[in-house]
């Protein structure tokens, strides 16, 4: 059971997002797994490159190891992104550290990421349920952020799991949350369920290929931001997303996104 007493630096202010404040902030450039188009994803090389390229946030997918450490990895196995094989949940952090995540980089733990960057960057962190549908990382995540004194205004937390978003909101209602949506959920969006999302989240994350101008307008009119993500098709959709005036974009190549955005100004 999640303990409602876990807080994340409660004295700090909430992220100043466009939907939350009604201001005309610039597009949020979210480095998807770091600058993952040019460096191995979820490595310090990818994060460093993203920051050099001007990303506003570094996005971090979380997985939990066999010894209950939180690491940065998207897939449930190490097969695609390292020279190893096997399920993350069956490996210890020490075992994961023996793998090459590309260009001689190791798989970083969340602890290491927070130690390296501290409060000098903004974090956009994705939680997920276990394969059994259990919530396994929310408390640990907030405790790590608190221990490293990361201000809430520098953290956005997201999940496809509504249960995880709800749990994070229950743990600390002041957290900045984004609800990721799958196709069926997007197709069912209306003013009523957008208002329900707005009670706990500042925005929704939606695949770019499912967005059109009318949907973006509907979401924003109901007080939520639109953060668009891609499926390896960033260059196909980016100009369209900018025309729709989405509030944030998950980019594998922040330098490319910044260049396109500048041309459209």
Give the residue numbers marked as catalytic: 32, 74
Per DSSP, what are the bridge partners of residue 124? Answer: 59, 156
In order of 31, 53, 156, 204, 215, the CA distances from 191 in angstroms are: 30, 37, 23, 13, 11
d(CA 192, CA 176): 21
Residue ranges of alpha helices (H) inside 40-130 are: 44-52, 93-96, 110-117
Establish how many alpha carbons lie within 13 A of residue 153's alpha carbon, considering only the half-sphere containing its beta carbon: 6
d(CA 133, CA 107): 25
Count of all residues that appear for the chain in the document: 265
């Amino acid at each position: 059971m999640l303990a409602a007493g876990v807080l994340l630096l409660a004295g700090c202010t909430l992220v100043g997002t466009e939907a939350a404040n009604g201001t005309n902030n610039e597009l949020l450039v979210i480095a998807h797994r770091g600058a993952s188009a040019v460096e191995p994803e979820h490595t310090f090389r990818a994060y460093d490159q993203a920051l050099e390229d001007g990303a506003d946030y570094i996005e971090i997918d979380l997985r939990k190891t066999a010894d209950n450490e939180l690491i940065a990895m998207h897939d449930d196995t190490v097969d695609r992104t390292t020279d190893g094989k096997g399920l993350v949940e069956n490996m210890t952090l020490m075992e994961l550290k023996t793998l090459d995540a590309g260009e001689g980089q190791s798989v970083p733990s969340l602890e290491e990421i927070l130690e390296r960057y501290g409060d000098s960057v903004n974090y956009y962190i994705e939680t997920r349920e276990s394969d059994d549908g259990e919530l396994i990382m929310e408390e640990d995540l907030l405790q790590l952020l608190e221990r490293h004194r990361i201000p809430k205004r520098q953290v956005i937390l997201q999940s496809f799991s509504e249960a995880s978003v709800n749990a994070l909101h229950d743990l600390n209602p002041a957290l900045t949350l984004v609800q990721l949506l799958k196709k069926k959920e997007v197709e069912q969006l209306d003013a009523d369920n957008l208002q329900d999302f707005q009670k706990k989240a500042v925005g929704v994350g939606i695949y770019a290929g499912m967005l059109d101008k009318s949907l973006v307008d509907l979401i924003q009119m109901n007080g939520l931001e639109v953060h668009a993500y891609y499926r390896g098709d960033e260059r196909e959709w980016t100009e369209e997303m900018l025309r729709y005036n989405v509030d944030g974009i998950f980019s594998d190549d922040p330098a490319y996104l910044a260049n396109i955005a500048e041309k459209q100004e």
